[in-house]
Structure 1
Amino acid sequence: MSSSTSSSRRSITPADVDALRSLLAGTIRRWSRAAEKPAGVVLVPTAVEQVAVAVKYASENNIDLAVKGGGHSTAGVSSTDGGLLVDLNAKLRGVTVDVDKKLLKVQGGATWADVDAAGVKHGLATVGGTVADTGVGGLVLGGGYGWLSGQRGLAIDNLVEATVVLASGEIVKASEQDNTDLFWALRGAGQNFGVVTEFVLRAFDQGDVWAGIQIYPPTPENITKIVNATNELYQPDANGKTKLLGRGAGGISFGRPPPAGGQVVIIVAIIYFGTEHEAKSVFKPFYDLTPLVDTTALVPYPNINTLLAPPIGFRASLKGLAFALPIRPGFVQEVLENYVEFTDKNEDARTSVIMWELFDPAKVVSSDTGSFANRGWVLNGIALPLWTAAENDQAYRQWARDVNELFKKELEAQQKLNGDAKGDAGPRSGKGAVLLYGNYDQYDERSKDIFGENYSRLQSLKARYDPKNVFNKLFAVTPQA
């Protein structure tokens, strides 16, 4: 190695030190402050080869390894306490658009805001996160629901190719043509198999969208009318078709948003891939209720992924819930009472949210792509406690668990009513997996619960691609002996 000449050297300035401190603070920072851990060493790579060197070194020296994509996981899976952190988000978040082939080439540290911004310039979009500051990597590798799922399926259904750094440090391509077993595993259990430094995603023509939120007082009458109208739109008929035919999405939430002055309200998100006239006709029952606030308008596609974005800077737990249609108005009233009691008694958690996420699941159910085993007619919800004081971590996470138990009991009651109860494990997919979305916090579920009958095949592939279990942060698959 040649020595540096005097002309190539310079002194380190205070500005350099400040820049380094800022970079290091950013690498540790997470969307949930409760998910932050002090890494022992941080790598901010600018090329896939640098990632490969770091992964190989961690594997050979039994060093705990974490990878930060968007840093949105509230379970702390992108953090390490004293180990090696590879921060893709700082320097590897570019997006290239192939307009002719309608493909988006996305680096592993990009967020969905990066993808949306690149695609909209060309009138293109793909299935991405419902919150724009979510990282692409974590969402895609865990399945990937988005507001376009009613028309286009999951994010993994639109993954064309992935560039992967394996535990050995080898860099490979995975697709339907190359390393097909690895490609199958990546689409649903991807966090177990390597660091994906580039995703190639299928894009679609996408114009403006009718979307916004409506806010209503949480009266029993409003709850009943909103829930009944929701069931009418989203509940599939005997042929698996809904009135929305995949063109509508949104949700029902309880919150205390600033426009309501801290009062508890019902927040209805309306997203419709069509004209204003069509949307107002389809969602007429909601408009007839005369909301206190109505922001619905024709907006660029990226705007819909900011509609329900929670505030940044809190400690948080994004606890996954599951529910089935029809939603029962009495159950929603019960959840409201629980929410009001919790947020009234806990000033530090008054910005918390409970939400039922809504879309037409027919497209998702019709596919069988990858190792994702949780497809079904059960939809996702979230209990999202938001707080500031670390001493409240345990109590507020427990509240999210308690809300989850309410949803589980309601789902079990629906099963019994329909004569299809299957024991204490709760509803299962056709692959024997619990119908819970693994990208949300699932504190008490095991990997076998999430992957169902795919687990044994995943174990075999894990033994081939990651026998030392280097990648073990989220629903870790035990390598087959």
Structure 2
Amino acid sequence: MPSVLSQRRKPVSPNHVSELRQLLHDTSAELRTSTDVDYDRSVARWSKAAVKPAGLVVVPTTTEEVSIVVKYAAEENLDVAVKGGGHSTAGASSTDGGLLFDLDKMRTVRVDSDKKLFIVGGGANWGDVDQAAAPYNLATVGGTVADTGVGGLTLGGGYGWLSGLYGLSIDILIQCTVVLANGDVVTASEQNNADLFWALRGAGQNFGVATEFIFQAFDVSPDVYAGLLLFEPTPHNIQRVTEAVNRTYAINSAGQIKVAGRGTGGMGFMRPPGLDAAMIAVPIIYFGTAEQGQAVYRDFFDLDPKISTMSMVPYAEINKFLAPPYGLRASMKGAAFTLPLRPAFVQKLFEEYQKFGDGNDDAQGSILLWELLDTRKVTELDAGSFANRGTHGNVLICPIWTKPENDAAYREWARHINEKFKKELADHSGEEVGPAVEVTTIRGRKKATQFYGNYDHYDEKSKDIFGDNYEKLQALKTRYDPGNVFNKLFSISPLAN
């Protein structure tokens, strides 16, 4: 197989289209070029800023069809991308002139209620899983936005509303079916191809096209106590809300936390539709009764929020109430933080957020959110190559805008805010900050990169994301994808021959 180090990826040519049509003529796979009616739907993305014009879209219906095309693309050195949910704001599910797999016709979910398993097609999104599971009162660790793809989120680690109880998506992943760069179809699990299974759980986009996932499912109540609290962003409120966050989510000296795995959500800033001003937003999801949730989150309710939408809602709905609309321009830039938060820092970030919104009329929907959960379960477990386990949390820096001419400037704003979080960690976290940070865990010591690879990291390299796991991943990459066919998200370089 050719090395990507010496050969650039080719765009798709008319001859490639013709040859693939011949290879797939007895199958149900669909080929779409720019003149076909559904082409635009295939290249559309959650963020318009991530849209690229694929040279050819392949819409497979089976794993065997994926295998035929992957083998051909590798032999022809074509640029390859894979679209599940299309939520990558880094453009990792898009290709400029190359071959795009659109897995929309592999959007299946089967529920084995007896064994408590979900068997999920590679093109499904988390809303599909939620809806299929609802009649059985089952759930698994999925995303926090319904139209996020199952594959992309899982292969990058996968935080979800249930992470406080069960860990990451990769922690409850039982098996994965993958098409490798040479076209081979393999199943990976703890029992079969265990080294590949390790790599897939955190760096999976580098190793193939995942066409099926099997997840462990868990019993959930049909209704969850959830909603949004909004506060006027006065300095006094910022102080009090920040203190409530610390009391509710910080792990105390005895290793306990008030939410005890059942409460999750966040704290941040947004401009809700219908309101003219920026607000402090506190989303809450509590797996229990309203009375239990009100007791756990009493510190917030006692602050007299301006607006509260808290109520008992169906579990399948909680992945919808924070979802920004599809088809704007956005960047989901990641950062990290540790508790307790400093009110002065939160105040400074609000001033930055307000200044950005006031100065840019097309960016009013932008969000800055500290993601809050009980981190003990994520930290305790150690499945896969995911390198970001620790007691720190993730931050979503999410400029959302409409004008293409502002792409570079608004990404630069996200970078600017990210640098402030890095400085805050260095100056006030009391922990070492660097590419491989020692963090105390329940099971001992381990390294945490403090970079969540499913978010955008403009300046970080793959070694930064995968930390101490990078060299082992390189060795596995050399074995499973020596030509670096799959290279779109934090590409892992195969070792030189």
C-alpha deviation, 1:259, in angstroms: 3.3
Distance of aligned partners of 1:62 and 1:386 in 2 relative to their CA distance in 1, 3 Å threshold: same
1:213-267 deviation digits (Å, cap 9, x = unpaired) = 011110111111111111101100224321111010011121111132x211111
- Structure 1 residues 275 and 32, CA, compared in 2 at 3 Å: closer, same or farther? same
Q: Pick the aligned partner of 2:131 from 100, 108, 117.
A: 117
Q: 1:290-369 residue pairs with structure 2 within 5 A?
A: 290-369=304-383
Would the alpha carbon gap of residues 400 and 356 (structure 1) be closer, same or farther in structure 2, given more than 3 Å must change?
same
- 1:371 match: 385
Read off the aligned partner of 2:261 and give its amino acid letter.
G
Q: Does 2:300 align with 1:289? A: no
Deviation of 1:427 (Å)? 4.2
Instruction: Please give the per-residue CA displacement for 1:366-399, whole angstroms capped at 9, x wherever unaligned.
Output: 0110111110011001111111111100000000
The match for 1:168 is 182
8 Å contact from structure 2 (residues 436, 468) kept in 1: no
**One of 451, 456, 474 as aligned partner of 1:441:** 456
- List runs of 5+ in structure 2 lacking aligned partners: 1-31, 440-444
2: CA distance, partners of 1:40 / 1:68? 14
Per-residue deviation at 1:192?
0.6
Aligned 8 A contact 2:390 2:448 in 1: no
Residue of 387, 396, 421 corresponding to 2:432? 421
Say whether 1:268 aligns with 2:282: yes
- Percent identity over the alignment is 57
- The separation in 2 between residues aligned to 1:256 and 1:318, in whole angstroms, is 17
Q: 1:22/1:293 Cα in 2 relative to 1: closer, same or farther (>3 Å)?
A: farther
| Residue of structure 1 equivalent to 2:265 | 250
Distance 1:431 1:73 in 2: 28
1:370 and 1:444 map into 2 onto residues whose CA distance is: 24
Given the alignment, which residue of 387, 412, 415 partners 1:401? 415
Q: 2:483 aligns with which of 468, 473, 477?
A: 468
Distance 1:22 1:73 in 2: 24
Q: 2:232 aligns with which of 217, 223, 236?
A: 217
With over 3 angstroms needed to count, the CA separation of the structure-2 counterparts of 1:426 and 1:352, relative to structure 1, is farther
Amino acid at match of 2:244: A
Letter matched to residue 393 of structure 2? L
Q: Distance in 1 between matches of 2:172 and 2:371?
A: 21
Letter in 1 for 2:432: A
Aligned partners of 1:141 and 1:241: how far apart in 2? 30
SS in 2 for 1:305: coil
Match for 1:301: what amino acid?
Y
The answer to whether the Cα contact below 8 Å between 2:231 and 2:281 also exists between their aligned partners in 1 is yes
Q: TM-score, normalization: structure 2?
A: 0.90
Structure 2: distance between partners of 1:64 and 1:363? 38
- 1:249–1:272 CA contact under 8 A, matched in 2: yes
CA contact (8 A) 1:58 1:65 kept: yes
Matched AA of 2:204: G
Corresponding residue for residue 46 of structure 2: 31
Output the CA distance in 2 between the equivalents of 1:200 and 1:421: 37
Determine the structure 2 residue equivalent to 1:7: none
Q: Deviations 1:112-150 (Å, cap 9, x if unpaired)? A: 000010111110000000111100000000000001000
Give 1:290 deviation, angstroms. Answer: 1.9
- Aligned-partner Cα distance in 1 for 2:35–2:169: 35
Aligned partner (choices 275, 294, 297) of residue 280 of structure 1: 294
SS of the aligned residue for 1:163 comes to strand
Distance in structure 1 (CA, Å) of the matches to 2:37 and 2:378 = 41
Aligned residue identity for 1:123: N
Structure 1 counterpart of 2:66: 51
Gaps of 5+ in 1: 1-16
Q: Deviations over 1:42-65 (max 9, x none)?
A: 101111111111111110010000
Shift of 1:425: 4.6
- The residue that corresponds to 1:197 in the other structure is 211
Q: In structure 2, do the counterparts of structure 1 residues 288 and 214 end up closer, same or farther at CA, with 3 Å as the change threshold?
A: same
SS at match of 1:285: helix
Q: Deviations over 1:420-439 (max 9, x none)?
A: 435x5584555544211110
Query: Relative to 1, partners in 2 of residues 1:20 and 1:81: Cα closer, same or farther, differing over 3 Å?
Result: closer
C-alpha distance in structure 2 between counterparts of 1:221 and 1:51, whole Å: 57
Contact 1:373/1:431 (<8 A) preserved: no
Aligned to 1:140: 154
Taking structure 1 as the reference length, the TM-score comes to 0.93
Letter in 1 for 2:211: T
SS of equivalent residue, structure 2 residue 214: strand
Q: Superposition pairs for residues 90-129 of structure 1, below 5 Å?
A: 90-129=104-143
Hey, what does 1:477 align to over in structure 2? Answer: 492
Instruction: Please give the secondary structure, in 1, of the residue aligned with 2:226.
Output: strand
SS in 1 for 2:274: helix
Q: Counterpart in 1 of 2:198?
A: 184
On the 8 A contact 2:436/2:448 being kept in 1, the answer is no
Task: Provide the C-alpha distance between the structure 1 equivalents of 2:115 and 2:435, rounded to a whole number of angstroms.
Answer: 44
Distance 1:184 1:22 in 2: 40
Change (3 A) 1:454 1:348: same
Aligned counterpart in structure 1 of residue 251 of structure 2, from 221, 236, 239: 236
Contact 1:431 1:453 in 2 (8 A): no
